[in-house]
Amino acid sequence: MIDSAVLLPEQGSHSSTSPQPAKDGVEELDQVAGNTEDEIGDLIQSVKEDEMMFSEQSLLADFGPMIQYICLNPKVFKVRHIINYCQRAVNLPQNQVLRTSAALSLSKMMCVSMKFCESNLLLLLRMLETSRDPNIRSNIVIALGDIAVCFSTLIDENSDRLYKGLSDSDLIVKKDSLMVLTHLILNGMVKIKGQLGEMAKCVEDEDRRVSDLAKLFFKELSTKDNAIYNNVQDGM
């Protein structure tokens, strides 16, 4: 009889070699999948940058110039003239719906393409500074927070414009500015560049919501390494 032990492989003889091909196959598959995902991501980015806002077949490309014109010419759309029942011209209040919608649409389009964002950022910031409608100013502040998520470098270079909202005469604009700055700073999307004193002033604000939010900001900021110590002297 043949000893059965001869027919049996040594214990553990294949344990170190047999899993290796499977492991190598998984790694190769991961590399292929990773390359495919990168290619898909590059394709999507290319479509967003070059086609969605600038292609001749794009609807956004058609609406873009119209929205830019409305935002660039607020006086043209400031007053509507209608004829009442007595056939007299009557001046109605500002066409806030159209102008507010245009500002919102412009900011949303700016989140699509960095090229479109760069060409319209100064327009949006100018509207933030000059618009007399607090709703428009508040919407722009919030929109700048969204734009910062997409293109943080563009907002970081113009972050001083956001700090001006902390001294806005309208309470809602002030609160929204503080909330957006709190989110951007604590998440590292914008850097503190000597404006921390403006945030500190909000701690003593008359409105409790603004004051509490400012205190929460500094509490969270204190957990980051020397963040307050390195910036508060320049900001005050």
Tokens in use for 50? 């070059």
DSSP per position, 138-193: HHHHHHHHHHHHH-HHHHHHTHHHHHGGGG-SSHHHHHHHHHHHHHHHHTTSS---
The lowest-confidence range among 37-41, 78-82, 139-143 is 78-82
- Domain parsing of the chain, residue ranges: 45-235
Q: Does the pLDDT value for residue 192 go beyond 90?
A: no
What are the distances in angstroms from CA 214 to CA 35, 60, 126, 180, 187?
A: 45, 39, 26, 12, 16
pLDDT digits (tens, 9 = 90+) for 32-56: 555 667 777 666 766 667 767 767 7
pLDDT digits (tens, 9 = 90+) for 84-136: 433 444 444 457 788 889 999 999 999 988 889 999 999 999 999 999 999 99
Domain 45-235 part of CATH 3.30.2310.20: no
